[in-house]
Amino acid sequence: MRILVTGGAGYIGSHTVRMLRAQGHDVWVYDNLSMGHRAAVPAECLIVGDLKDGDHLDHALLIHRIEAVVHFAAFAAVGESVIHPAKYYQNNLVNTLNLMERMRRHGISKMVFSSTCATFGTPERVPLTEDLPQNPINPYGWSKLFIEKALLDYAKAYGWGFAALRYFNAAGASPAGDIGEDHDPETHLIPLVLQTVLGQRPKIEIFGTDYPTKDGTCVRDYIHVDDLAEAHILALGKLQPGSAFLYNLGIGQGYSVREVIRIAEQVTGRKVPVQEGPRRPGDPAELIASPARIMKELGWRPKYLELEPIMETAWRWHQSHPKGYKS
């Protein structure tokens, strides 16, 4: 298939691009490199472009005779979305609607969309099944939920086939250790812990120790980035006109912040200095996916069933790239 991957030079995008290419697809990456990295994708498939630039986007869709779009390009920092909602509504919502319109004009009707567990807000119960109400508690979650709704309407009205994959906590790196997670600024727990192990940070702060969880710290479902990539490719292969796939995507296992730190210590063989701090606003206590639906309907099976092997791949990447792609 001829596929355009927006945001393909980013963390999850670059792992998906590699897997799509390995399976023989004709892949084009459309990325403005504001968050993505040139070194994360093969030079011959990279188009440096912005979703705001409609003419450039049109050209990319037409000249490469694109048949489907895998749409990663978005901002994804929850805290920032609260402080600067305009940035999130403009990019994640307006630019995505523009992309969908360009696709429609060119008769492209297949999309795999990066959604998020943040569309659920604070869930009534865990694990999260797809039937739970979606009540986002921040602009990031809303920007993604609006696109889910728009895609449902495009599927009904125009016969689009789409998948919206609601990621839980993406983690890990390519087992080869040559592509991995590199955000600036970094806000995610696992890279911050590993940077502390490497001596780049004095300590890791635990955001809240009084949650109603097993040890008082927040619980999350960490899913390996290659298992996420695999889900995109499976979904893409099964899209038919009118298919509306909405899936929660995690491994169905919850790890507390303290457990994540302990596993990082085991994997690296080094002690992590810790400081207990207050809660971070907007953090739900516990987010664990039920991946039952995607397993049943698409036959998705995660290769990484526990955090330890996921952490090992992340550690390999951080050791070989202590300064990320700049190393």
**Catalytic residue positions, numbered:** 140
For helices 257-268 and 307-320, give the axis angle rounded to 10 degrees.
Answer: 60
Q: Which amino acid is at 66?
A: I
Indicate the burial class of 269 (C-beta count within 10 angstroms; 0-12, 13-18, 19 or more).
exposed
Supply the minimum distance, in Å, between the C-beta of residue 188 and ligand UFG. Answer: 4
x/- contact string, 263-292, with ligand UFG (CB under 6 A)?
A: -----------------x--x---x-----
Binding status of residue 192 toward ligand UFG by CB under 6 A: yes
- Interface residue with ligand UFG, options 91, 134, 169, 248 (CB under 6 A): 169
In the numeric block, which tokens belong to residue 128?
């999260």
x/- contact string, 217-256, with ligand UFG (CB under 6 A)?
A: -x-x------------------------------------
In the numeric block, which tokens belong to residue 35?
């968050």
x/- contact string, 6-45, with ligand UFG (CB under 6 A)?
A: ----------------------------------------
Binding status of residue 201 toward ligand UFG by CB under 6 A: no
Strand order in the sheet with 219-220: 255-256, 219-220, 286-287
Supply the minimum distance, in Å, between the C-beta of residue 285 and ligand UFG. Answer: 8
With CB under 6 A as the contact rule, which of the stretches 14-22, 26-34, 39-47, 205-213 interacts with ligand UFG? 205-213
Task: Give me the residue label for tokens 């040139």.
Answer: 38
> Alpha-carbon dihedral of residues 6, 129, 264, 215, nearest 10 degrees?
140
* Minimal CB distance residue for ligand UFG: 218
With CB under 6 A as the contact rule, which of the stretches 157-165, 200-208, 232-240, 267-275 interacts with ligand UFG? 200-208
Supply the minimum distance, in Å, between the C-beta of residue 208 and ligand UFG. Answer: 6
Distance between CA atoms of residues 219 and 212, nearest Å: 10
Looking at beta carbons only, is 32 or 169 nearer to ligand UFG?
169
Indicate the burial class of 281 (C-beta count within 10 angstroms; 0-12, 13-18, 19 or more).
exposed
Distance between CA atoms of residues 208 and 280, nearest Å: 7
Q: How many residues does the chain have?
A: 327
Q: Which of 141, 138, 142, 16 has its CA nearest to residue 71?
A: 16
Q: Which residues of 185-203 are buried (b: 16+ CB within 10 A; e: fewer)?
A: ebeebbbbbbbbbeeebee
Binding status of residue 206 toward ligand UFG by CB under 6 A: yes
Supply the minimum distance, in Å, between the C-beta of residue 273 and ligand UFG. Answer: 12
x/- contact string, 128-167, with ligand UFG (CB under 6 A)?
A: ------------x---------------------------
Looking at beta carbons only, is 139 or 161 nearer to ligand UFG?
139
Supply the minimum distance, in Å, between the C-beta of residue 277 and ligand UFG. Answer: 8
Q: Which of 325, 169, 112, 155 has its CA nearest to residue 244?
A: 155
Tell me which residues touch ligand UFG (CB under 6 A).
76, 78, 116-118, 140, 169, 187-189, 192, 204-207, 218, 220, 257, 280, 283, 287
